[in-house]
């Protein structure tokens, strides 16, 4: 097992193995039923992916605490935001398919790599993104999808289950972003 919890002090952390991924899903209570409801949510949310991302970006940039991760010298880092945009759009699209396959894992790694690359740049490098801060990025994107689910005409119970599945999937992704990139999920 290559989970970070099993690494010695002199060994670099690595990408989580399949056992760790399954364990994380179980700890999130992320089930097969959630994947089915995530696909249903995807059918509703897919036409609005660009809108959801735009609302999320706007929220992040207007929140003084979150915007620091997307800014340089007190201004939004447009080049970084634009580099992330296609990855985030594709990430949302793949996530809404409800499958955590190799395509999805590759996206997780690319997003993590972009975050690491931006942190490694010499000029005004951004602060390290700790898990405690990364998890604060979850709610806004979940919240912006809720509006579209609420207006779908589905019954309240089904909307609630789709919303829960959407939330769990995004939490799962955020947890994976804290692992270093460069190795394939296996």
| 71 part of a folded domain | yes
Domain extent at residue 116: 4-177
State how many domains the chain has.
Answer: 1
| 148 part of a folded domain | yes
Please report, in tens digits, the pLDDT of each residue of the chain (186 residues total): 344 444 444 444 456 677 887 888 899 999 999 999 999 999 999 999 999 999 988 888 888 777 777 788 878 888 888 888 888 898 888 888 876 656 666 666 666 666 555 554 444 444 555 667 777 778 888 888 999 999 999 999 999 999 999 999 998 888 877 665 544 333
Question: Which of 150, 148, 167, 168 has its CA nearest to residue 159?
Answer: 150
The torsion region of residue 98 among left (phi > 0), alpha (psi -120 to 50) and beta comes to left
| 186 part of a folded domain | no
What is the CATH classification number for the domain harbouring 95?
1.10.490.10
| 182 part of a folded domain | no
């Amino acid at each position: 097992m290559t989970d970070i919890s099993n690494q010695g002090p002199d060994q670099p952390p690595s990408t989580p193995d399949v056992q760790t991924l399954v364990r994380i899903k179980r700890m999130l209570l992320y089930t097969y039923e959630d994947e089915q409801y995530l696909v249903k949510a995807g059918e509703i949310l897919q036409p609005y992916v660009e809108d959801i991302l735009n609302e999320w970006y706007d929220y992040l940039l207007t929140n003084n605490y979150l915007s620091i991760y997307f800014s340089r010298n007190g201004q939004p880092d447009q080049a970084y935001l634009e580099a992330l945009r296609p990855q985030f759009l594709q990430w949302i699209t793949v996530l809404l398919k409800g499958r955590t396959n190799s395509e999805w894992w590759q996206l997780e790694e690319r997003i993590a790599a972009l975050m690491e690359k931006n942190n490694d740049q010499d000029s005004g490098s951004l602060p390290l993104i700790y898990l405690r801060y990364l998890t604060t990025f979850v709610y806004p994107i979940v919240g912006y999808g809720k509006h579209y689910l609420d207006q779908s005409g589905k019954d309240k119970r089904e909307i609630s289950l789709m919303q829960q599945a959407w939330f769990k999937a995004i939490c799962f992704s955020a947890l994976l972003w804290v692992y270093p990139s460069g190795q394939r999920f296996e």
